[in-house]
Amino acid sequence: MLTFIIISSPSLTKNSKKKGVASSKRKKQAKLKRMIASVRKQQIKAEGNEGEARFAAMQLIDDPQGFAEMLFKKLKEGAQAFETKMLLLQVVSRVVGLHQLILLNFYPFLQRYIQPNQRDVRLYFLLVF
């Protein structure tokens, strides 16, 4: 007589399918997280408050015109290293752009640095716009 041992098929299929279900579930959850993140980014861009959050400290400057003029005066003296000048230019340009100031001779001063052989020319274009 032949005896057959019956192995329960649900236990076999449960273990064999578990990997596929779990991995596809993880993929779907990851895709959902990416979609939620992209929707949040789009909402933030639509609100237009991203600039305010980045420059919150610059908005609290008591006298932005005087502050920008003082930094520009220090910049014109030219006793700093190149990297320090770049940082000062960035601060002055952000204050001018944020508060919509008119700073005389600032853009002609920037023209001096926008040359083909100048270091970090791409950073100067960021200062202008």
Domains of the chain, residue spans? 20-54, 56-128
Whether pTM exceeds 0.75: no
CA-closest candidate to residue 103, choices 80, 125, 123, 128: 128
- Give the per-residue pLDDT at 59: 85
Residue type for 44, please? I
d(CA 73, CA 70): 5
Q: Phi and psi of 79, rounded to 5°?
A: -95, 10
- Give the per-residue pLDDT at 32: 92
Q: For 56-60, which contacts have Cβ atoms below 8 Å and span 24 or more sequence positions?
A: 58/94, 58/95, 58/98, 58/99, 59/98
Q: How far is CA 108 from the centre of its chain?
A: 29
CA-closest candidate to residue 103, choices 113, 95, 111: 95
- Work out the mean pLDDT of the chain and round it to a whole number: 78
pLDDT higher than threshold 90 for residue 114: no
Tens of pLDDT, residue by residue over 5-64, are 555 555 545 555 555 567 788 899 999 999 999 998 888 787 765 555 566 788 888 999
